[in-house]
Amino acid sequence: MAFQQTNPLTPIGVERMQRQPASADGQFGEALKFFRPQVACTIQKVTTRADNGSSLNLELAPVTDREARWGEKLTVQVSSIELPRFCACVLRITPGIEFKYHGESRNKSYSLQWQSGGVLRIDLSTQGKRLFIPLTGDEVFWLAEMALDQLHKNTQSMTKTDLMNLLTRSFKGTQGGQ
C-alpha cells in the first residue's frame, strides 16, 4: 500500500514523503522517498553486495525547479555490519554516526547527525560533492521501522524487542562513529 504524507504548512511538491512498496518481481525493495526544494532522497531495502545480508541504500540527488536530477545522485550502501549503529542513531541511542571508505573507489562517506528541534540530518559525500537532507520526526519513524526490519532479518533468532534492548545496551552513551 502506498503511503504519502504532506506537511500541511508546505506547498504541494515542495516537501513530502512517500512509501513505495517492493516491486512485484522482487527486483527492487521497499523504499522511502523524501522531497525537498534542494534535494531528493531515496532509502531502499537491499541485499548487500559484500555478504548477502539485509541493509539499505541511501541516495541523494540535487533538485532544480522541483525536478530531481537523479543522474547526479550520490549513492551509498549501508553495510550489514554498519546497520546496528545506523539503527542506534536513528533511534536516538547515539547522537550521530559517520562511515567512510564506501564505493568502488572507497571515496564515498555518509553520516547521520541529530540536530536541534528533533531533526535527523543525513549527509552523503564523495570527492568535492556533498548533499544532505533533514528528516523530521514523522519521517524518521518510517526510516526507523525500515532499518529495524532489515536488521531483524539479519538477526532472526531474536525478537524486535530483544533487538532494540541489545541496541540500547550496546550503544547507549557512545558517540557512534565507525
Looking at residue 6, what is its pLDDT? 40
C-alpha cell at position 84: 546496528
Q: Residue 103 has what pLDDT?
A: 75
Q: What is the pTM of this model?
A: 0.87
DSSP 71: G
- Segment-wise mean pLDDT, segments of 10 residues, the chain, 178 residues: 38 68 87 96 91 93 94 94 96 94 84 95 94 95 96 92 94 71
Based on DSSP, count helices (H) and strands (E) in the chain, helices before strands. 3, 11
Domain boundaries, the chain: 3-171
Give the residues across from 58 on adjacent strands.
43, 76
Q: Which of 116, 75, 97 has the alpha carbon at shortest distance from 167?
A: 97
CATH class of 3-171: mainly beta
Q: What does the pLDDT read at residue 178?
A: 52
Q: What share of the chain is helix, strand, coil (3-state, %, to 5)?
A: 25, 40, 35
pLDDT in tens, 77-120: 999 999 999 999 999 999 999 999 887 777 899 999 999 999 99
